[in-house]
Structure 1
Amino acid sequence: MLAMAALALPIGGLAAVAAWVLQRLIGLITNAVFRHRVSTALVAPAQHAAWWLVLAAPVVGGLAVGVMARYGSEKIRGHGMPETIEAILLGGSKVQPRVAVLKPVSAAVSIGTGGPFGAEGPIVMTGGALGSLLAQFLHLTADERKSLLVAGAAAGMAATFNSPLAALLLAAELLLFEWRPRSLVPVAAAVSVATIIRYPLLGQGHVFLSAGALDLRPVDDALCVVAGILSAVLALVATVLVYASEDTFQRLPVHWMWWPALGGLLIGVGGLIVPQALGVGYDVIDAELTGSISLGLVVGVLVVKTLIWSLSLGSGTSGGVLAPVFMIGGALGALEAHVFPPVGPGFWALVGLAGVLGGVMRSPFTGIVFAMELTGRWEAVLPLTIASMTAYAVSVLLLRRSVLTEKIARRGYHLSREYDVDPLEIVFVGEVMTTDFVELDASLDAVQALADLDERGTDAVRQRLYPVTRSGGGFAGVVTRAGLLAAAGDGWTVAAATDRGPVVTHAEQTLRHAAELMAVEDVTTMPVLDRLDGTSVVGLIALPQLLAGRRRDQREARERERPLTIRLIGPRGTQSDVSRAHSGG
């Protein structure tokens, strides 16, 4: 763990620099294309630009991304999160070196030419690629590579938004698929370094500073439930649109290299209608969160941004999801602010932002903390929790998978993001082991041993693995039925066929330890030895016994019972059950 944390420190620094480079590159391309000047400042792309440029620039940018994807690496297509998850779960946390270069470049081209995307998805994949590349040069396990890959990914996000805690939560909710010190500590180390290095590069303050006091009342907390439901519906619409668009593009009779250019045409048309919908849109998000955005622009952003982001993302172009989700969610909240009671500047936009993030990405804790870290609104923790969790719950009920996991599922892989205690971890070997078993004496003739087993009946024959004891007592090893048959053919004793170095376990071990031991040693049955003397067999454990933990888990999930009953005293002192204990599956 400590060694991984030490390795994660330089990865955090590299990810912070990569985030700074990407933002500067986006600004450079945006200024060159739309303002015809050399500058790295982030500016709104379509404002004050000629109509033909607004229409054509996203098409050219999409074509460039398509060419890079076809002749560079197809892994740069999309918003980066599913590709990172796929590399972790299916690719041994190995990322190609070219992805570390092509992903930020393609994203900068896509966003810089007007694409309605964010920089966070590409920087997550770029940071992850940097961590993976370092890990691949070292002699590490796949789990250790995963820790460094996620460390780079989370560090990139922390450096982009000055959100160390949200980045750490995003790693835990979306990328690590575990909650263990061996992975969380290195990720935290990288995130901390990236955030510290961000300060001189990108600034130390909140990305979107929301000022003004909040006048929260109980009715506002109740309305956050309504806001969460509306956020979930918007998340559902956006997710369905993304994959409906992807299905439509796949039916086109042209190579996928051309799809981002066609998506760019949709972006250009949207930019002609609402120019503010193009680009990263930090200025629009800031206006939403400060309450300085007009109603007309709110409606335009809500409709046009949702459409062009969803439809163009389905074309396979390169760009992130967080900034668009911020803008769309903020627009929904800003629209709600015209109906709901006033609470404070940009409050309902902030609630909508957290809600849509929780619904689209199915990461409610990240949504809650992200919203607070972006704006400094820590006093809004309760309403943000209500909205984000409501959106998350409704999204789970209405949609099978999120915008992140649907793409992986479409590639034929099942992905579960539900965390639960491993039932094998809470059941001990001693609780389920077989204590009714047959032992064989080492000095016994193999032919006689087989005959004795046949006489004992079916259970003895089915045992298949038999502990062997020495003539003077004590555990000598194990013998299989196949070994006995071979020894009997040669006229040997049981001792000649005995494996004297078998894999053993103890009654105090968990079923998880037993299962891992079986997997590593490639055995299906193990003798259980007494831990104190180590010479006596107290039981056998085989694969069927491992299901005991699973059966308990299923029983607890499915069987209902009423442990408590209420007894009333009748007219003559008799007792009657108002409710009887019962159980049902």
Structure 2
Amino acid sequence: MSAVVAWALLRLIGLITNVIFYQRVDTKLVAPGGGHDHWYIILLAPIIGGLVIGYMARYGSEKIRGHGMPEAIEAILLGGSKIEPRVAVLKPISSAIAIGTGGPFGAEGPIIMTGGAIGSLFAQLLRLTADERKTLLVAGSAAGMAATFNTPFAAVMLAVELLLFEWRPRSYVPVAAAVCVATVVRHPLLGSGVLFPVHGTLHLTPLAELLCVVTGIVAGLLAIVATILVYAAEDGFRRLPVHWMWWPAIGGIVIGIGGLIVPQALGVGYNIIGEELDGSITINLAIGILIVKTLIWSLSLGSGTSGGILAPMFMIGGALGVLEAQIFPQVGTGFWALVALAAVLGGVMRSPFTGVIFALELTGRFDAILPMIIGASTAFAISALLLKRSVLTEKIARRGYHLTREYDVDPLEIYFVGEVMSRDILSYEGDLSAEDALAEISGTDPDKVETRRQMLYPVVQGVDTLVGVVTRTQLETAVHEHRSTRAVKELCLTAPIVTHADQTLRETANAMAANEIDKMPVVDRHDPTRLVGLVSLTMLLEGRVRDVREASESERMLHLRVARPGWTNRHERR
């Protein structure tokens, strides 16, 4: 279904573009700035498109605003992976109107949101958990993206780097299956070849690979500028004394003016990306694309219109590479445009793997993988060092939510209860009275400090046969209510939640959270009645403490001893 929706969206974009700019009925994707349009069409079309989108957002669903990926992330993390059915209908239509009337956006963001809505709707029809709904939402998003660009590997990488927020078989396998099906379905609908085929031999040298670092630095700085412009524009629109419904139309004015200056900057620009990669673009046009496309894309996106970011980043990055090719040594046709394209994508989205794989699958240029890794990783490093958040996460942060995309092994997953539990604990015989039990943990005796802190006390029969658990509060209540002579086995909880020494701290923490407790008896796995220790929430944090210690404490492990003349004699005299 995501593949069919992707096909329909591209055809709808083509239809609107042809009707508006060429006054003909056709669904083929064409460039809106073909050079034969009257100036008033180029100027007015984006404004009219912005008015329609503002109306749809206000009276249809405000969730159609934006470029799709932050909205998908927000639905996953904050909305229980639930997307309204009307979003699945209105998002592609609004995006087709925005792009078809000249908006400098890509189709991938809307299809990510629309495909995610399809997956979410399927999930909502079934009895599933929030995690399972998330998997189907991401499966739909990644499938739509794979169908749009014929890039299955990049779509899976995008899901892993941006949307899943986990790496588990339960989520990866369904996403990969959906991507593969969408790619197979795409082939008869949209073709099976690479989108921007590049040919010729590369002549890589160490100097060229070193200059890829320079490309990455410049691309990272460009990514930062573009991101700042997007949210500066958003802040500017918020200060306007008009309802947000009118903002996309105001953004359309910016698009129209930019289109009058550089008509080729309008629309998705697949034809321009192809020219950048095959070396047929002129220098003047590359300069115009780099400046005008960056400005109209960032300023209009800040208005809250509907459109994606990948295709504009391809075009802007490619233009940067074309200009660099005028200075850097010749390596091959479109080489610097390709490296810069991957680098800008890695810097803007903070997804270097996705940037590299995307560029590979879009061009089939697998012999450029090392330069692209150098460029994308450098841009990613520059962006991460100089900018707190990416264009994808800044919007969510501005809504008051914290989002991290850094993944690490949970230290609670690699330590076991047996490594942190207390074995030296106070337990009570079942026949002991409540008064005597309380006396054991009362007073100011310093030797009883640890037993007073224990708070949860196993009740045993014999040496270590667990009968139940009793709390200090229960003992105090019994004494206060004049039931001090009652045996602790009559007061205790006889079916406590227990854990095992070979259970991970994470599993135990989950059990504590689910049962709203902070201490648990530890029993033998093979003999559930045999008590072996006690674990508390504070003890579980020992796993975190060890992780912090490994990350913050520096120490020198190897010491070199250098023998000098006369050293042996001095050592012997000592």
Is the pair's TM-score, using the shorter chain for normalization, greater than 0.5?
yes
CA deviation after TM superposition for structure 1 residue 452, in Å: 2.1
CA deviation after TM superposition for structure 1 residue 472, in Å: 7.5
Q: Which residue identity does 1:221 align to in structure 2?
A: E
CA distance in 2, matches of 1:248, 1:79: 18
Identity within the alignment, %: 65
The 1:575–1:107 alpha-carbon spacing in structure 2 relative to 1, beyond 3 Å, is farther
Alignment pair present for 1:105 and 2:99: no
CA deviation after TM superposition for structure 1 residue 435, in Å: 2.0
- Render the CA deviation track for 1:380-415: whole Å, top value 9, x for unaligned: 110000000000001100100000000000000110
Alignment pair present for 1:192 and 2:190: no
CA deviation after TM superposition for structure 1 residue 471, in Å: 4.8
Q: What is the aligned counterpart of 1:522 among 511, 516, 519?
A: 516
Alignment pair present for 1:453 and 2:447: no
Structure 2 unaligned regions, length at least 5: none
CA distance in 1, matches of 2:503, 2:394: 38
CA distance in 2, matches of 1:473, 1:43: 79
Please name the residue that 2:141 is paired with.
Answer: 153
CA deviation after TM superposition for structure 1 residue 473, in Å: 5.4
Q: Does the 8 Å CA contact 1:68/1:102 hold for their aligned counterparts?
A: yes
The 1:362–1:473 alpha-carbon spacing in structure 2 relative to 1, beyond 3 Å, is closer
CA distance in 2, matches of 1:523, 1:506: 16
The 1:575–1:353 alpha-carbon spacing in structure 2 relative to 1, beyond 3 Å, is farther
CA deviation after TM superposition for structure 1 residue 536, in Å: 2.6
Report the 3-state secondary structure (helix = DSSP H, G, I; strand = E; otherwise coil) of the residue aligned with 2:568.
coil
Alignment pair present for 1:329 and 2:317: yes
CA distance in 1, matches of 2:552, 2:450: 32
Please name the residue that 1:562 is paired with.
Answer: 556
Could you tell which deviates more after superposition, 174-183 or 502-511? 502-511
The 1:147–1:496 alpha-carbon spacing in structure 2 relative to 1, beyond 3 Å, is same
- Render the CA deviation track for 1:453-505: whole Å, top value 9, x for unaligned: 22563322221110010258511111111222233333421011111111111
Report the 3-state secondary structure (helix = DSSP H, G, I; strand = E; otherwise coil) of the residue aligned with 2:439.
helix
Structure 1 unaligned regions, length at least 5: 1-13, 577-585
The 1:473–1:547 alpha-carbon spacing in structure 2 relative to 1, beyond 3 Å, is closer
Q: Which residue identity does 1:174 align to in structure 2?
A: L
Report the 3-state secondary structure (helix = DSSP H, G, I; strand = E; otherwise coil) of the residue aligned with 1:568.
coil
Q: Does the 8 Å CA contact 2:14/2:30 hold for their aligned counterparts?
A: yes
CA distance in 2, matches of 1:473, 1:209: 73
Q: Does the 8 Å CA contact 2:194/2:361 hold for their aligned counterparts?
A: yes
Q: What is the aligned counterpart of 1:573 among 568, 571, 574?
A: 568
Alignment pair present for 1:544 and 2:538: yes
Q: Does the 8 Å CA contact 2:464/2:531 hold for their aligned counterparts?
A: no
- Render the CA deviation track for 1:80-122: whole Å, top value 9, x for unaligned: 0000000000000000111000000000000000000000000
CA deviation after TM superposition for structure 1 residue 534, in Å: 2.7
Report the 3-state secondary structure (helix = DSSP H, G, I; strand = E; otherwise coil) of the residue aligned with 2:520.
strand
Q: Does the 8 Å CA contact 1:487/1:496 hold for their aligned counterparts?
A: no
Please name the residue that 1:345 is paired with.
Answer: 333
CA distance in 1, matches of 2:496, 2:570: 60
Q: What is the aligned counterpart of 1:463 among 451, 454, 473?
A: 454
Report the 3-state secondary structure (helix = DSSP H, G, I; strand = E; otherwise coil) of the residue aligned with 2:81.
coil
Please name the residue that 1:38 is paired with.
Answer: 25
Please name the residue that 1:388 is paired with.
Answer: 376
CA distance in 2, matches of 1:472, 1:334: 80
- Render the CA deviation track for 1:99-154: whole Å, top value 9, x for unaligned: 00000000000000000000000000000000000000100000000000000000
CA deviation after TM superposition for structure 1 residue 27, in Å: 0.4
> Counterparts in 2 of 1:79-478, with a 5 A limit?
79-454=67-442, 457-471=448-462, 474-478=465-469
> Counterparts in 2 of 1:23-34, with a 5 A limit?
23-34=10-21
The 1:35–1:473 alpha-carbon spacing in structure 2 relative to 1, beyond 3 Å, is closer
Q: Which residue identity does 1:500 align to in structure 2?
A: T
Question: Normalised by the size of structure 1, how large is the TM-score?
Answer: 0.95
Q: Which residue identity does 1:27 align to in structure 2?
A: G
Question: Normalised by the size of structure 2, how large is the TM-score?
Answer: 0.97
CA distance in 1, matches of 2:146, 2:189: 13
Q: Does the 8 Å CA contact 1:443/1:471 hold for their aligned counterparts?
A: no
CA distance in 1, matches of 2:505, 2:59: 49
CA distance in 1, matches of 2:563, 2:374: 44
CA distance in 2, matches of 1:554, 1:209: 48
CA distance in 2, matches of 1:500, 1:131: 46
Report the 3-state secondary structure (helix = DSSP H, G, I; strand = E; otherwise coil) of the residue aligned with 1:457.
helix
Q: Which residue identity does 1:514 align to in structure 2?
A: T
Q: Does the 8 Å CA contact 2:464/2:532 hold for their aligned counterparts?
A: no
CA distance in 1, matches of 2:451, 2:426: 6
CA deviation after TM superposition for structure 1 residue 425, in Å: 1.1
Report the 3-state secondary structure (helix = DSSP H, G, I; strand = E; otherwise coil) of the residue aligned with 1:569.
coil
CA distance in 1, matches of 2:570, 2:437: 62
- Render the CA deviation track for 1:275-304: whole Å, top value 9, x for unaligned: 000001000000001010000000000000
Please name the residue that 1:495 is paired with.
Answer: 489
CA deviation after TM superposition for structure 1 residue 574, in Å: 6.3
Q: Which residue identity does 2:334 align to in structure 1?
A: G
CA deviation after TM superposition for structure 1 residue 569, in Å: 3.1
CA distance in 1, matches of 2:129, 2:395: 27
Q: Does the 8 Å CA contact 1:124/1:157 hold for their aligned counterparts?
A: yes
Q: Does the 8 Å CA contact 1:427/1:511 hold for their aligned counterparts?
A: yes
CA distance in 2, matches of 1:303, 1:253: 29
Q: Does the 8 Å CA contact 1:475/1:536 hold for their aligned counterparts?
A: yes
Alignment pair present for 1:482 and 2:477: no
Could you tell which deviates more after superposition, 141-150 or 465-474? 465-474
- Render the CA deviation track for 1:503-537: whole Å, top value 9, x for unaligned: 11111111111111111111100011122333332
Alignment pair present for 1:535 and 2:529: yes
Could you tell which deviates more after superposition, 563-572 or 421-430? 563-572
Q: Which residue identity does 1:337 align to in structure 2?
A: A
Alignment pair present for 1:19 and 2:11: no
Q: Does the 8 Å CA contact 1:487/1:494 hold for their aligned counterparts?
A: no
CA distance in 1, matches of 2:33, 2:402: 40
CA distance in 2, matches of 1:395, 1:574: 57
Could you tell which deviates more after superposition, 275-284 or 435-444? 435-444
CA distance in 2, matches of 1:497, 1:401: 54
* Structure 1 segments of 4+ aligned residues over 3 angstroms from their partners: none
Q: Does the 8 Å CA contact 1:216/1:343 hold for their aligned counterparts?
A: yes
Could you tell which deviates more after superposition, 106-115 or 536-545? 536-545
Please name the residue that 1:11 is paired with.
Answer: none
CA distance in 2, matches of 1:224, 1:137: 49
The 1:246–1:574 alpha-carbon spacing in structure 2 relative to 1, beyond 3 Å, is farther
